[in-house]
Amino acid sequence: MSLKRKFVTSSILMFAVPVLLIALVTAIVFGVSLFRQSAFLNTLSQLGGSIPDEALQPGGLLFAPVIIWGLISTAIVASTCAVVVLSLSRAILSPLQALKQAAENIRDGNLDFEVLRSDFREINELCLVVDGLRMRLRRSVSERLAYEKERNRLLANISHDLRTPITSIKGYVEGIRDGIADSPEMMDKYLETIYLKACAMERLVEQMSDFSELELGRMRFHFETVGAVGFLREVIEENRVDIESAGAAFETELPDKELPVRIDAEKLKRVFLNLFGNALKFRSQRPLAVGLSAEIDDRGIHITVRDNGCGIPKDELNRVFEGFYRGDPSRNGSVKGHGLGLSISKQIMENHRGKIWLKSEVGVGTEVHLYLPAAGDGGLV
């Protein structure tokens, strides 16, 4: 029921009920009084039906019935109005009080409650809005707490992973200063180790910088129209040596025709660098095979990067694109990383108005699918 209908109904009741009750009381009071006074009836008939003035004077025949009628009528009107107003106020004030309490709970940060519903449509809609706000705030708080937890874990991991190469670099530098590297071979080994440790630190810092810039929307993209297949050939050649030197077979299959796409080549190359890096890190006991293939249609290019590594459980497929997510530590405890690669890759693809998704099976391998729109069909202009 709407409030408008409730007010109209209450107004009708406040008018109709007193009228009906007063009519009933009038019939009862005056009927009983008049029919008990036959002489008055005879006199009234002789006067042509008019009531003499002395009948309404104090002590007159109709004085007491009129007073009783007036008192009862007044009581009926007053009680009817009081009952209707009290019922209406209770029906309205009760949900409003509940809404007030809900607002106070939200203000105090208590979100574990349920907003009561109302029989009135307008107030019930307000209750639903307030309850929706409460649920949204609760989800936001839960997500924030989870994010804070992941961020703290990330900071702990970063601190550990930065401390390890720094300690190693300091140790090798001290070894050089103390003359432990007393031969050219030892010196080259020490310097090579220091260089590799510094490169690892540089990659970590760059990855963190990329993630922060993407999250804050500060990363600048420089788009240009290039051939998609030609770009993929560059990607293959730039990564082939690293993949094959890691003991993996690298298989590629590209289409013969070309397709123009609008991309930031350097940013997009980071996506493939992350994907190939994951394939090398999450390998199984069998010989690793990595592949890249592509298919072109009129609307865009569909690229697939596949491997026969350890695979990803189904319950983790929807989370691997979250920032800082590293999966089950019992499976990946020996794998270094911070769970930022796929998150960065997804954001880069979205900035290209493209898509990225996974298909994976534990013990079989993983397929990463990427889709880029053609420059002339929904691509960037």
Sign of the alpha-carbon dihedral angle for 327, 328, 331, 337: positive
Q: What SS3 class is residue 217?
A: coil
CATH superfamily of 224-373: Histidine kinase-like ATPase, C-terminal domain (3.30.565.10)
Average pLDDT over residues 18-30: 70
Contact between 283 and 300 under an 8 Å Cβ cutoff? The reply is no
Using DSSP bridges, classify how beta strands 289-296 and 249-253 pair: parallel, antiparallel or unpaired: parallel
Give pLDDT tens digits for 61-120.
556 666 766 777 778 777 777 777 777 777 777 777 777 778 887 777 777 766 666 666
pLDDT the model gives residue 289 = 94
Query: What distance in Å separates the CA atoms of residue 285 and residue 275, rounded to the nearest whole number?
Result: 19
Class of domain 148-216: mainly alpha
The per-residue pLDDT for range 129-173, each reduced to its tens digit, is 877 777 888 888 788 887 787 777 767 767 777 787 888 889 889
Q: What is the pLDDT of residue 377?
A: 53
| Dist CA 111 CA 102 (whole Å) | 9
Kindly report, residue by residue over 286-344, the tens digit of the pLDDT: 899 999 999 998 899 999 999 998 888 887 877 787 755 555 544 444 444 456 778 88
Which residues partner with 292 through β-bridges? Answer: 252, 305
d(CA 158, CA 213): 18
Instruction: Compute the Cα dihedral for 156, 158, 159, 160 and give only its sign.
Output: positive
pLDDT at 286: 87
Res 258: pLDDT: 93
Query: Could you tell me which residues come within 8 angstroms of residue 296 by beta carbon, excluding any fewer than 6 positions away?
Result: 228, 229, 255, 257, 259, 302
- Cα distances (angstroms) measured from residue 101 to each of 88, 137, 139, 160: 20, 16, 20, 47
What are the boundaries of each domain within the chain? 3-110, 148-216, 224-373
Structure token pair of residue 64: 């007491």
